[in-house]
Amino acid sequence: MITAIREVPACRASILRKLKPGGKKMKKVIALSLSALLAVCLFAGCSPASSGSSSTAGSDSAAQAVEISLLNSKPEITDALEAAAEQYAKETGVSITVYETDAPGDYMTEAYASGDPTTMALVDYANVKDFSAEYLLDMSAEEWVKDGGEASGAYFDGKLYGFPFAVEARGIIYNKTALDELLGEEFDPAQYATRSAFEELLATLREKGMQDGIVLNADDWSIGSHYLQTMYSLYDGTMEGGYEFTRQLTDGELSIADSDAYNEAFDTLDMLMEYNYNKADPLAADYDMNASYCADGTVAFWLNGTFAWPDFSEFAEDGVEYGVMPLPVSEESAGLGKLSAGATKYIAIDKAYATEEQQQAALDFLNWLVYTEEGNGLMVNQCGIVPAFSNITLEMNNPFNISLQQYIAASNTICVFSDLPSDHRSALAGEMQKYIAGEISRADLAALLDEYWQAQA
C-alpha cells in the first residue's frame, strides 16, 4: 500500500507559519518520505491484499487501506514518530501521516472549525479538556486503562479522553562530570536541594572560573509555561493543592504576591537569572546552543526537563555523566528535594469526523504502543520518554530518565499541575519573557497574574 502524502489543510497554514524554521528545531509538517513510501510499496507488493496486519497491535476491523493522521505538539520526537509511522505501515498496512505544531490549541480550533482535524492528537491536558466532550472519543473501555491509563490518563466527567503518552519531569539538568572536575569532589545533587545551598554552589563555580553556571531558555513554552506550572505545583505538591491555589486566586481570596508558592518560584528564578549565561540578552538565547553549553561543560546547569534528551543527546559527549535534579527551594517548601513529575502529554482520538474504521485504527495504534516490543521501543528508546504503563519494563536508556526513575522509586516527586486554562500560555508566557528580560518588575508580573486568574471567575 502506498502511503499518501497530504498537503497542509488551508485552515492550518497560519498556525504553521508561526513555527520557527531551521535545523533540528525546525517546526514543520511531516509526511512519510518518498523513500519510505517506496519501501512500503515494495514490502506490500503495491497490493492491499499482500499487506500483513500486526498480530498484536492490529485489528481485523482496521482495514488495510485505512489512512489516519497524528498531530504532534512535541517537536523533539517528530523524527521518531515519522520512523514509527513507516514501521507501522509495514506491519499493518495502516498509514499514519504526522503533522507538527507548537500551537496545538490554535491548530485544533481551526481544524475543527474547518471540519478537518487529525485522527489523533498528541497534545497537552488543557487541549484534551477543551475538546473532550464534543469532539473526542471516550477510551474508558480500552485494555491499557488497567495498566496505567486509569492512574495517569486525562479524565473528564468520568470518561477517559486522553491516553497518557509520557511521564516527564521539570527541574535542572546538570553536567556531573564538569561539576566533579570544578569542585574537586563528587557532585551530589541532594546536597544542593535548598536555594541557599544552590546559590552558594553557583558562587563557588564563579570563583573557580565558571562565571555563569546555568542557562535559561527564552522559549515561551519553557519559561512561560513549564516554569509557571511548577509554581502551581509548589503550593503543596499535589493536584488537589493546585486546584485549591487556583480557586483562591480566581475567587480573589489570595493575592499571588502573598502566596508562598509564588515567592518560592520567583525567589529561585531571580537567583537563577543572576547566574544565567544568557543574562546580557536573555531573549536571544538559542535552545540548541543552551543544550550544547550544558553538554560540553561551558555551564554546569540548564533549567529544563527530562523531555530535553532528544535535543541534548546530539551534543552529549562520550564519557560525560549527566542528570536531572529538582528545582532548589527553601527548606519549608513542599518541593524540597523533589522533582515535579507526571504525565505531560496525551493522545486523544477524534470522534466527530473520523470514521469508525479510522477510530479503530487509532485505538489499535495505541495498543501497539503499549503491548508490543516495537511500540515499547518507540516510546522508551526512540522518543526517550518514561511510559505511564506498568507492563512496560524496558530499561531507560538516557541519563535524564534514569534520574527520573530514581526519584520516582524514592517517592521524591511532586505533581505537574497541568489543569490550567487553555489560554494560560498565550496570555502569560509573553509576560514571563518580559520578566526575565527585565522589562517588568516582580510586582508587575504578580498584578498581571492576579488579573488573569480573577478573569477566570
Domains in the chain with CATH codes: 10-167+344-396 (3.40.190.10), 169-342+407-454 (3.40.190.10)
pLDDT over 90 at 104, yes or no = yes
Q: How far, in whole angstroms, is CA 302 from its chain's centroid?
A: 16
Half-sphere exposure at residue 32, Cβ-oriented, CA atoms within 13 angstroms: 28
> Taking a C-beta distance cutoff of 8 angstroms, is the pair 339, 324 a contact?
yes
Reduced to 3 states, what is the DSSP secondary structure of residue 86? helix
pLDDT over 70 at 350, yes or no = yes
Q: How far is CA 228 from CA 144, 222, 266, 376, in A?
A: 31, 9, 10, 31
Q: How far, in whole angstroms, is CA 420 from its chain's centroid?
A: 15
Those residues whose C-beta lies under 8 Å from the C-beta of residue 240, and which sit 6 or more positions away, are: none
Q: What is the mean pLDDT of residues 9-26?
A: 36
pLDDT over 70 at 48, yes or no = no
Range in 48-52, 104-108, 355-359 the model is least confident about? 48-52
Q: What residues pair up with 71 in beta bridges, in sequence order?
A: 99, 121
**pLDDT tens column, 132-173:** 989 999 999 999 999 999 999 999 999 999 999 999 999 999
Q: How far is CA 345 from CA 44, 125, 388, in A?
A: 33, 7, 11
**pLDDT tens column, 267-279:** 999 999 999 999 9
Place of cell 487541549: 127
**pLDDT tens column, 396-419:** 989 999 999 999 989 999 999 989
Reduced to 3 states, what is the DSSP secondary structure of residue 71? strand
Question: How large a percentage of the chain has pLDDT more than 90?
Answer: 83
pTM (2 decimals)?
0.79
pLDDT over 90 at 69, yes or no = yes
> How many residues can be counted in the chain?
457
Q: How far is CA 202 from CA 176, 212, 331, in A?
A: 14, 8, 18
Give residue 51's pLDDT: 31
> Taking a C-beta distance cutoff of 8 angstroms, is the pair 151, 124 a contact?
no
Q: How far is CA 1 from CA 33, 42, 51, 62, in A?
A: 14, 9, 7, 14
> Taking a C-beta distance cutoff of 8 angstroms, is the pair 172, 327 a contact?
yes
Range in 24-33, 83-92, 316-325, 351-360 the model is least confident about? 24-33
DSSP state of 284: G
Give residue 14's pLDDT: 37
Residue 342: pLDDT band by 50, 70, 90 thresholds? very high
Give residue 64's pLDDT: 54
> Taking a C-beta distance cutoff of 8 angstroms, is the pair 176, 321 a contact?
yes
